[in-house]
Structure 1
Amino acid sequence: MLKQTLQQKLLQKLSPQQIQFIKLLQVPTVSLDTRIKEELEENPALEDISLANMNEPAEEYPDKDPDESFSEDDQPGELDEFNVDDYLQADDVNDYGSSQSNNGDDEDERKEIPIAIQNSFFENLQQQLDLLALSDRDFLIGQQIIGSLDDDGYLRRPISSLIDDLAFAQNVIAEEDEVEDLLRIIQEFDPAGIGARNLQECLLIQLRKKDQENPIIKKAIAVVENHLEEFTKKHYDKLERSLNINSEELKGIVNEILKLNPKPGDSGAVAGKQLHIIPDFHISNNDGVLHLTLNARNAPELRVSRSYQEMFDHYDKAAQKDKKMKEAVQFVKQKLDSAKWFIDAIKQRQQTLLKTMNAIMNYQYDYFLTADERQLKPMILKDIADRIDMDISTVSRVANSKYVQTEFGTFLLKSFFSEAIQTDSGEEVSNKEVKKILEECISNENKRKPLADEKLTEILKEKGYTIARRTVAKYREAMGIPVARLRKEL
């Protein structure tokens, strides 16, 4: 049986303004310009003041009253402000004097910055293919192989798939032997190792291009062909027994293999690709006093469009309002409200960023002064949230995507947060301090006999840090340091 009932519920719901602020808060500075441009394109009631000023025509005589005019009795000679000699002198300087050359208007004086043109990885391979005397059929097969290579230079598509691609895309019915023959030709291209189907084949291609009469090269080929797993796991004692060589010979073989490029395509395909970080904050040290500033990109000059405001006032005061007029008023009002919300959200974002970063800077004041990681205090999100009286999620959104530039580097805010570890004396220190000690111990170890996790645990215990071996392993892995066996060197 269906029936209607009334219910009262207490719900916590985010308003559209709060949702907009949350989304803007987690946007990093490098993406904020794009977000603002999107909003400017979607909402005509929002204006960028810097762009608006560029579009406004400058007054030719800004200090002159447009209502004033010369009378018929006025003569040019009676104007004390105007001097013909001064005018001619100024004209000479502006048109023919040194000031003109400083403006860089002379075509002969312009200096163009040369732009380096570099072929891509695939273009280089295509050029090498063009130099070969191939039939049209083989040329199409070679093109298909080159186009199927990954950015690192490997061919990971099966030969059978390449044959299908040739049949459907090029209308070429190829045999497996034909594709294999063309692949071997492409594997001779530069850089060495191109067209390999796995790491072992990549290394063998590079080694076989070297001097085959060299005994070290011969044994290096034998290692890669038959003992690659032992080599990658650094079981050097097994290699010495299998190849019947001593440690000095093995050292030469290992060094020869380490010279090879495991990703030959990276030299061309990923050239010039660098991670570009725009810091959100800047901390400067002025004689022992830290000064925090917010990146100017986080403070755009936005305003509500005057023309839209005037349009709304005009429509709102209209005596008669038909359906179309009401729809126009509603549309304009919606855009005006949206523009105001966006401007308020940007301002709130600026305040939140500064407030959060200022609390972090004051909490880690000694670290930002000295750049010594051992000065980092244990700090979690709740510590900063309590200081600025905000929610932990707000601090997390700031810390996870924002960078600060200091005099000793640019860092993600998240890197300043760490858990506390209690020493034998009862003092709480940051786990960053323990990681720093671990890093120093591993960098100073004997690489022939690297320190195992158990030994590192003992060293930390001697220094007053009582932590478990599994915690040492967790910190070591977090720093990207392999286990002792893989750190071993000959």
Structure 2
Amino acid sequence: MLKQHLQFKLSQKLSPQQIQLMKLIQLPTQAFEQRLKQELEENPALESGKEELENIDEFEDDYEVNDNETIEAEDINVDDYLSDDEIPDYRTQANNYSSDDEEKSVPYAAGTSFNQYLLNQMNTVYLNDEEWAIAEFLIGSIDESGYIRRPISDILDDLAFTQNIYTEEKTIARVLSIVQELDPPGVGARSLEESLMIQLKRKELTPSIELAIEILKKSFDQFSKKHYQKLIQKHNIDEEELKAAISEIEKLNPKPGGSYSGNNRIVEHVVPDFSIRIVDGELELSLNGRNAPELHVSREYNNMLKGYKESQEKSKAQKDTVMFIKQKLDAAKWFIDAIRQRQQTLFVTMNAIMQYQKEYFLSGDERNLRPMILKDIADEIKMDVSTVSRVANSKYVDTPYGTKLIKEYFSESMKNEQGEDVSTKEIKKILETVIKNEVKRKPLTDDKLAAILKEKGYPIARRTVAKYREQLGIPVARLRKEI
């Protein structure tokens, strides 16, 4: 049985313009400039830079059309897009940002790749065609750290299947030994142990280096776990001899490829979106001028509308043209408004963060960072948490203490013995300082670290200490041990 009934339902939908605005807010400065360039290329009704203000007509966006509604050229009131005002209102609003605030040119690095650098060295070695093809394949298998992380048996199969080269493992091993003679020392190794051994054998042999080679060859596992007493007993040496051998090993490069590829890698330039300065004891916030471009609506497009209005006979081509113009003018007007909204949202959000962490920004002491979550700032500026998240996760701020990602200023809270909320960043800073000042012969265990923090007024469990230590990238006590 069929029934008809009415149902009223409230639903919330984001318009395409709102979605685009959220995407604009999320973009950092360099990505925003690319988006701006794209919009200028796609919309001829939008122009950048300053324009003379004489006799420029402005349009008002009073005509809205639903997505599913079809309009005809006759339905468009051209007067809605034209006015008698000589100066449009969006030109009377100052943003106080100069386009000259930041240098817009970005240097680009160029050079020889790491693998090509190795191949160039191979040109000085005599190899037959098969050996050269194997060497080229081996060098192509070296990663940025300088290692070949594959067994020879797998390389043998790959040479047969992909290069149509049928050879033997001993031939590959012989060519690999030639590759391992290239610079930087240690390149082409299949493990850390092998890389360190190659580097040591390049040095002039001394008693300390000979002992270091013996330790790596016979006791690499004990060495990596810092079982120093076992090493002393096994190699029948005293503590000073062991210390000298370890000192030689510590001079080696565990990532030999990094010494070249790291210098040649194109660095991604971080452009701060905000700048905080201390002026006469007060904080001063500014938005990067590259986030405040000067845009205006094309004069030619306004003139086209005027021409259509004054035309006595309106042909089909003219009607199609006015429809196109209307669409582009709407898009240009919205984009100008969206950029202005983006500027305001960024500034208001960062200003709230700056005021919330005022004590930190004045002192630079991370112990003065207050516990702060996204909701704290969202409630402060009366915006959604997702908006604050978009600003915090992708924007950088230039401060007197360095350029940092804004989300680094957010942290959870924890109560101290006085019942006050303190930032977890404050606890991590104290933990880092305690570990830095520990006696390295007897590094502090997580239990002892928890006891020390408790004495300082931060009662946290051992597992929490372990979690914070790992977040700081600090190894366990056994691996921090020195002799």
**Which range, TM-score by smaller chain?**
0.7 to 0.9
Moved more, 266-275 or 33-42: 266-275
Tell me, what secondary structure is at the counterpart of 1:133? Answer: coil
Distance apart, 1:441 and its partner CA: 0.9
Alignment of 1:58-97 (within 5 A): none
Match for 2:231: what amino acid?
L
* Partner residue, 2:354: 361
> What per-residue deviation string (whole Å, max 9, x for no partner) do you get for residues 235-284 of structure 1?
22332333233322222222222211121111111214444221111111
Match for 1:16: what amino acid?
P
CA–CA separation in structure 2 for the residues paired with 1:5 and 1:227: 82
Moved more, 241-250 or 165-174: 165-174
CA–CA separation in structure 2 for the residues paired with 1:466 and 1:172: 65
- Structure 1 residues 317 and 190: CA distance shift in structure 2, 3 A: same
- Between Structure 1 and Structure 2, how many residues are aligned? 427
* Partner residue, 2:333: 340
- Structure 1 residues 252 and 275: CA distance shift in structure 2, 3 A: farther
Partners of 1:400 and 1:414 within 8 A in 2? yes
CA–CA separation in structure 2 for the residues paired with 1:19 and 1:116: 36
2:230 is equivalent to residue 270 of structure 1: no
Moved more, 391-400 or 265-274: 265-274
* Partner residue, 1:178: 171
* Partner residue, 1:485: 478
Moved more, 282-291 or 223-232: 223-232
* Partner residue, 1:247: 239
CA–CA separation in structure 2 for the residues paired with 1:216 and 1:366: 52
Partners of 1:20 and 1:342 within 8 A in 2? no
* Partner residue, 2:76: none
- Structure 1 residues 117 and 434: CA distance shift in structure 2, 3 A: closer
The TM-score with structure 2 as length reference comes to: 0.81
Tell me, what secondary structure is at the counterpart of 2:214? Answer: helix
- Structure 1 residues 18 and 266: CA distance shift in structure 2, 3 A: same
Identical counterparts, % of pairs: 58
* Partner residue, 2:391: 398
2:425 is equivalent to residue 449 of structure 1: no
Partners of 2:110 and 2:264 within 8 A in 1? no
> What per-residue deviation string (whole Å, max 9, x for no partner) do you get for residues 5-59 of structure 1?
7654322110111101100111111321111112222222221116x89xxxxxx
2:49 is equivalent to residue 49 of structure 1: yes
Distance apart, 1:296 and its partner CA: 0.4
Distance apart, 1:467 and its partner CA: 1.7
CA–CA separation in structure 2 for the residues paired with 1:181 and 1:42: 58
* Partner residue, 2:218: 226
Tell me, what secondary structure is at the counterpart of 1:292? Answer: strand
* Partner residue, 2:323: 330
CA–CA separation in structure 2 for the residues paired with 1:296 and 1:228: 56
Tell me, what secondary structure is at the counterpart of 2:383? Answer: coil
CA–CA separation in structure 2 for the residues paired with 1:432 and 1:220: 40
Tell me, what secondary structure is at the counterpart of 1:271? Answer: helix
Partners of 1:186 and 1:195 within 8 A in 2? yes
Distance apart, 1:294 and its partner CA: 0.7
- Structure 1 residues 227 and 326: CA distance shift in structure 2, 3 A: farther
Distance apart, 1:172 and its partner CA: 4.3
CA–CA separation in structure 2 for the residues paired with 1:169 and 1:472: 50
* Partner residue, 1:129: 122
Select the residue among 402, 405, 410 that pairs with 1:412: 405
Partners of 2:112 and 2:264 within 8 A in 1? no
CA–CA separation in structure 2 for the residues paired with 1:116 and 1:9: 57
- Structure 1 residues 25 and 484: CA distance shift in structure 2, 3 A: same
Partners of 2:47 and 2:297 within 8 A in 1? yes
CA–CA separation in structure 2 for the residues paired with 1:302 and 1:255: 62
Distance apart, 1:205 and its partner CA: 1.6
Distance apart, 1:409 and its partner CA: 1.3
Partners of 1:283 and 1:405 within 8 A in 2? yes
* Partner residue, 2:419: 426
Structure 1 unaligned spans of 5+: 54-114
CA–CA separation in structure 2 for the residues paired with 1:471 and 1:158: 40
- Structure 1 residues 307 and 459: CA distance shift in structure 2, 3 A: same
- Structure 1 residues 211 and 440: CA distance shift in structure 2, 3 A: same
Partners of 1:418 and 1:430 within 8 A in 2? yes
Partners of 2:111 and 2:264 within 8 A in 1? no
Select the residue among 372, 384, 394 that pairs with 2:377: 384
Alignment of 1:148-167 (within 5 A): 148-160=141-153, 162-163=155-156, 166=159
Partners of 2:276 and 2:398 within 8 A in 1? yes
2:7 is equivalent to residue 15 of structure 1: no
Distance apart, 1:186 and its partner CA: 1.1
Moved more, 156-165 or 7-16: 156-165
Alignment of 1:183-262 (within 5 A): 183-212=176-205, 214-262=206-254
Tell me, what secondary structure is at the counterpart of 1:405? Answer: strand
Tell me, what secondary structure is at the counterpart of 1:123? Answer: helix
Moved more, 243-252 or 445-454: 243-252
Match for 1:258: what amino acid?
E
Match for 2:371: what amino acid?
P
Distance apart, 1:300 and its partner CA: 0.8
* Partner residue, 2:32: 32
* Partner residue, 1:138: 131
Rg larger in structure: 1
CA–CA separation in structure 2 for the residues paired with 1:116 and 1:11: 51
Moved more, 304-313 or 342-351: 304-313
Partners of 2:180 and 2:187 within 8 A in 1? yes
> What per-residue deviation string (whole Å, max 9, x for no partner) do you get for residues 68-116 of structure 1?
xxxxxxxxxxxxxxxxxxxxxxxxxxxxxxxxxxxxxxxxxxxxxxx99
Partners of 1:316 and 1:329 within 8 A in 2? no
Partners of 2:225 and 2:479 within 8 A in 1? yes
Moved more, 190-199 or 155-164: 155-164
2:468 is equivalent to residue 475 of structure 1: yes
> What per-residue deviation string (whole Å, max 9, x for no partner) do you get for residues 130-159 of structure 1?
112222332233222222322222223444
Distance apart, 1:316 and its partner CA: 6.0
Match for 1:153: what amino acid?
G
> What per-residue deviation string (whole Å, max 9, x for no partner) do you get for residues 169-209 of structure 1?
66544333322211111111111111112222212222222
Partners of 2:346 and 2:391 within 8 A in 1? yes
Tell me, what secondary structure is at the counterpart of 1:270? Answer: helix
- Structure 1 residues 173 and 423: CA distance shift in structure 2, 3 A: closer
